[in-house]
Amino acid sequence: MHKLAMLTGGGDCPGLNAVIRAVTRRALAAGWQVSGFRNGWAGLIKNDVFPITREKVSGILHLGGTILGTSRTNPTDEQLQTIADNIKRNDLNALIAIGGDDTLTVASRLHKSGLPGHRLSEDHR
């Protein structure tokens, strides 16, 4: 089974729950297992992960903020390795980082690092 996880970083803004719901519904329909990391990159560093089901995203469109929580954590290079280790530990095939410039800069750094020792760097180029 393919596994996907999401996180939201940076400041809260309208539309985050809609993205979480859309990704979840589409991934579940394709047979993927979906998880979320609480509080952005901080949750991935701490491996604070929980399953996301169709029921969990039902009725969230009208809610403000994000059901995943968020933070303004910008990981150090050492923490990037911890993140890569937690991606491997959770056997993730994909990670979706939802946020602005800082969140996506970290995602870019993680991608460029090649996720050491993890098959994502080989299977999903």
Rounded to two decimals, the pTM is: 0.88
Burial of 104 (0-12, 13-18, 19+ CB in 10 A): middle
Distance in angstroms (rounded) separating the CA atoms of residues 2 and 13: 29
- Two structure tokens written together for 77: 């290079």
The hierarchical CATH code for the domain 3-101 is 3.40.50.450
**In sequence order, what are the residues at sequence separation of 6 or more whose Cβ sits closer than 8 angstroms to the Cβ of residue 32?**
1, 2, 3, 4, 93
For the chain, 125 residues long, the average pLDDT of each consecutive 10-residue run is 95 90 96 97 98 97 92 91 94 94 92 61 37
The DSSP 8-state label assigned to residue 60 in this structure reads -
Amino acid at 4: L
Write down the domain spans for the chain.
3-101
